[in-house]
Structures are given as C-alpha cells and as structure tokens.
C-alpha cells in the first residue's frame, strides 16, 4: 500500500504510452518549431525539458512498461490503471501493450482523442476495458478542427457514437476556456438528453507553453450558473477519490460533471500516480518534482522503495506550488512539463 504523510492511499496509476499526438491542441501541445519540440532532453539533467518530446532511447520499452506496471499491481497495491498519452493509440505496439495490461487484476481504462478508437473497440471488449474518456472540446466541426489543427471532427464524433452503441461507458472531456468554447456548455449538456454519455467540463489548467492565465478559466461556479439558468439539475453521488463534481439534468439519460482543478481543488482525496513515457514518476499533476524509475529498472534495482519515497514526499496541494490565483504563479508552471509530456 502506497500511503503519503497525509494519510492518502495511492492505488490508481496513470501510464503514458507516448508523448506524441496526432492532434495539436494548444493547451496540451505547445505550438513550437520542430527543433524545439523534438530535440532530446539534456542527458545531464534528471528533469525533462518542459517543451520536449522524448527520443526513442529515453522512452520505456514495452517490456519495461509492463514490468513497472506489474510491480505497481503486485507489490504496491494498485487497483486501477488508466492508459494515457499524448495519444496512446498511435504507439506502434499499443494493441499488444493494452492486451497485456488487460491481463492484470486491475480496473483498466483509457483516455484518447478518439481518432483511431474504432480499430481498438474489439480489443477493449475482449479484455473488459469498458471506460473510455474521449477528448472533445467543441461540438462545432470548424471550431474543433481549429482547436486541434486537424480535420478529424467527423471521425471522432462517429467513433464516440460507435462506442456508445457498443455499450461502452463513454466520458467526454471538454476543457472549458473563455472566448473559445464557453458558449457551448449548454449544447454539451443538451447532448446528454437522449444519449448515455458523461460530459466532464475541465477547468483550463496551467502547463508549460500553453499560455495559461487565471482569467481564461471558466470556473466551476460559472459553469454551473450557465447550466442552471437553463436546466433543472440534481447532484449525483461522487465516487471516493473522484476528481469530478457530478450532476444530471432531471430526466436526461446522460450526466455532466465539472473537474474543478483550479477553483475548487480536490487534493485532499488524491490517490493518483503518474508514470511518464520516459519512465519518471510524478506524484502530482502540477509538481515539478520527478523521480526516475527507468534507470533503476534498467539496472535491475527494486523500484518499490523509490516509489514509496516519491509518494511520501508528496505535498498537500498542487505539488507545493502557490494557489492558482496567486500573482505570477504561472511562471512556476512554466518550469514544468507541457501537458503532452506528462500524460493526462
């Protein structure tokens, strides 16, 4: 059991398959020249440069990734694994990796942009992966394509409908941003009227290179105010350690929720650990501190005490960084990684 000094038990591991993606959403993948985004990390430093993607030699191999996952499950009490990225389904060995992770005695879920989802649904059925989170920041095709810098809206939307038709538990992740998509909040909720989907509005979060400002955040309260001005809603019971505040419009088939990381953080119940594609452990999404597991694994060392030390060093809130509305705090987050390099 992995327990930090505040008594929080960590039994949920998020594994990033890759720090590459076929979409280019600005809040996750900074729009920088190739020589900046693709240069290798400085080998003399432990922490990856914030805006880099890792080279092949720095990434965990499939056998290393599986070995680390097994250690977490069989030696450290992990009960749930979520596959993330970048876009996890573009990894060349994604099919085999997911199939092998599916053999572990854990609840398995995935976060994806949905472009290649249809190719993997038979596998998900086979191994019992039932929960799929799909990123979709707009229901307007032209706007979605502008945000992602692609023309993939129709493919993603079709794959969402396909997953729902096949009985998967589909959650839609929509990052709510002022002057970009906040005018669609009601449309997203309306989408849940006759479809068993679960829309999750995510407050815009600060990461390296995404030009975050507090004033760009559409807050939990603002989201609820918009919705309650149109619909009668009821509060739902949230699961233990949940990041969401969940609701349903009365009589609607689906639900909606808010992930209020900025204005109403849920740090006190956090049970999450993140493993980056280059083999680092992050004990908090916002922390700039990282612990290297890859090197230890390649040396044949036991990673359990390393992970235990990483969890015991976890801060009470926000990775030890000041509150999000503190003046100049965005500079602290610029010292960390871009979201695509962390894993969602």
Q: What is the band of 53 on the pLDDT scale with cuts at 50, 70, 90?
A: low
Query: In 3-state terms, what secondary structure has residue 114?
Result: coil
Task: Label the pairing between strands 80-84 and 107-112.
Answer: parallel
Helix axis angle, 117-127 relative to 94-101, nearest 10°? 20
Q: What percent of the chain has pLDDT over 70?
A: 92
Domains, the chain: 2-342 (3.20.20.70)
* Residue 293 CB-half CA count within 13 A: 32
Q: What percent of the chain has pLDDT over 90?
A: 81
Q: What is the band of 162 on the pLDDT scale with cuts at 50, 70, 90?
A: very high
The CA-based angle 97-98-103, given to 5 degrees, is 100
Indicate whether 55 pLDDT > 90.
no
Provide DSSP, 287-311.
----EE-HHHHHTT---HHHHHHHH
Scan for tokens 């808010």, then name that residue.
258
Model pTM above 0.75: yes
pLDDT at 322: 84
State the average pLDDT for the chain.
Answer: 91
Task: Label the pairing between strands 291-292 and 107-112.
Answer: unpaired
pLDDT (mean) for 174-181:
97
pLDDT at 196: 97
pLDDT at 54: 65
* Residue with the larger pLDDT of the pair 197 and 52: 197
Q: What is the band of 31 on the pLDDT scale with cuts at 50, 70, 90?
A: low
pLDDT at 44: 32
Indicate whether 270 pLDDT > 50.
yes
pLDDT (mean) for 19-45:
62
Indicate whether 226 pLDDT > 80.
yes
> Side by side, which strands form the sheet with 107-112?
233-235, 245-249, 255-259, 198-203, 169-176, 131-135, 107-112, 80-84, 12-16, 272-275, 280-282, 291-292
pLDDT at 47: 33
Indicate whether 18 pLDDT > 60.
yes
pLDDT at 140: 98
pLDDT tens-digit profile of 70-127?
999 999 999 999 999 999 999 999 999 999 999 999 999 999 999 999 999 999 999 9
Indicate whether 341 pLDDT > 80.
yes
pLDDT at 45: 31
pLDDT tens-digit profile of 279-311?
999 999 998 889 999 999 999 999 999 999 999
Lowest mean pLDDT among 27-36, 248-257, 294-303: 27-36
* Residue with the larger pLDDT of the pair 344 and 60: 60
């Amino acid at each position: 059991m992995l327990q930090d000094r505040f008594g929080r038990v960590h039994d949920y591991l998020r594994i990033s398959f890759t720090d590459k993606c076929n979409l280019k959403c600005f809040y996750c993948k900074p729009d920088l020249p190739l020589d900046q985004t693709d240069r290798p990390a400085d080998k003399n430093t432990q922490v990856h440069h914030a805006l880099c993607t890792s080279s092949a030699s720095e990434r965990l191999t499939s056998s290393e990734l599986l070995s680390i996952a097994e250690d977490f499950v069989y030696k450290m009490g992990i009960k749930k694994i979520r596959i993330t990225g970048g876009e996890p389904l573009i990894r060349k060995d994604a099919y085999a990796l997911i199939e092998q992770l599916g053999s572990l005695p854990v609840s398995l879920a995935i976060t994806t942009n949905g472009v290649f989802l249809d190719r993997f649904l038979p596998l998900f059925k086979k191994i019992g992966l039932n929960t799929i989170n799909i990123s979709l920041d707009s229901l307007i095709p032209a706007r979605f394509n502008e945000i992602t810098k692609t023309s993939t809206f129709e493919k993603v939307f079709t794959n969402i409908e396909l997953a729902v038709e096949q009985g998967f538990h589909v959650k839609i992740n929509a990052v709510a941003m002022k002057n970009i998509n906040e005018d669609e909040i009601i449309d997203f909720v309306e989408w849940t009227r006759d479809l068993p989907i679960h829309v999750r509005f995510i407050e815009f979060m600060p990461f390296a290179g995404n030009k975050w400002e507090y004033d760009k955040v559409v807050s939990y309260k603002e989201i609820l105010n918009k919705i309650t001005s149109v619909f009668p809603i009821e509060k739902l019971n949230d699961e233990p350690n949940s990041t969401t505040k969940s609701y349903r419009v009365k009589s609607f088939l689906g639900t909606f929720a808010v992930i209020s990381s900025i204005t109403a953080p849920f740090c006190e119940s956090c049970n999450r650990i993140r493993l980056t594609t280059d083999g680092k452990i992050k004990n908090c999404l916002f922390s700039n501190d990282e612990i290297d597991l890859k090197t230890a694994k390649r040396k044949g060392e036991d990673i359990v005490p390393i992970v235990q030390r990483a969890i015991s060093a976890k801060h009470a809130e926000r990775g030890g960084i000041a509150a999000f509305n503190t003046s100049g705090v965005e500079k602290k987050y610029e010292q960390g990684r871009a979201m695509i390099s962390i894993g969602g």
